[in-house]
Amino acid sequence: MAITFVDGSANTGTGTSVTPTEPSGAAQNDLIIMATCVNTIDGVWTDPADFTEIDQNTATLGAPDTRNYIGYKIRGADAGSGYAMSYSGTSGNYASLISCYRGVDTSQPIDTTYVNATHFTSASNNMNLAAKAIDTTTANAWVVLYYFSTNPALTGVGAPSGFTQRDAGTGTVNAYTCDFADGAASTVTPGVFTHTGSDGQDPRIFTISLREIQAATSKLAVLKRNRHF
């Protein structure tokens, strides 16, 4: 079953909690991803009980410093523990992205093991910084980029070449996500983003990959392979 994008949204605001709306059309066994960035670093993000954290880090290049989070869950028959996130530090400007994908392997949705040193990047005054490359490990994996930048609102947003834009929100913290379907296991090296606006932007970018659901080996195929027929 090929991976497809179902729905998503970007949210911006100020505070110590974020409650994104569940993506429209989300169903059982869909993959839900949340990514969030806040302009303070004196606390940590706490996600819903049924989410698995992929990464949480502090970025200090540029100003202000930010606390960044990304995590996921496989949706059950309903919204489960929901989508409310809380931040233990002082109130700050934030942006959050939530995405729903279908056709992702429910037992191993993240295709390539995430490593902060090689799959997260940040910078000062470089709004069109390229995201980190990633080596997909299975055919038909999707590479997804989650981009945040602080300071002025972007005047326009744009994906790297070959990527499809999904959701964007502009404000004190800008939020943007896009994806790329990789046909064969390979190294995917994103180009630069094509945003417009003041280049006082300080980007923070996650690169992750999603694994397509694996076809089950039929009983007949197993019997033939083992010559039990």
Task: Evaluate if residue 10 carries a pLDDT over 90.
Answer: yes
Q: Is 6 exposed, middle or buried (0-12, 13-18, 19+ CB in 10 A)?
A: middle
Looking at the predicted structure, is the pLDDT value of residue 220 above 80? no
Map out the domains of the chain as residue ranges.
Answer: 4-225
- Checking if the pLDDT of 104 tops 90, the result is yes
Determine contact, residues 19/48, Cβ cutoff 8 Å.
no
- Condensed to tens digits (0 to 9), the pLDDT of residues 177-194 reads 999 999 999 999 999 999
What pLDDT band is residue 222 in, cutting at 50, 70 and 90? Answer: very low
Q: Are 34 and 20 in contact (CB under 8 A)?
A: yes
Enter the tokens of residue 205: 């970018």
Instruction: Tell me the mean pLDDT in the region 43-57.
Output: 98
Tell me the C-alpha distance between 114 and 22, whole Å.
24
pTM summary value = 0.93
pLDDT of residue 1: 78
In this prediction, residue 151 carries a pLDDT of 85
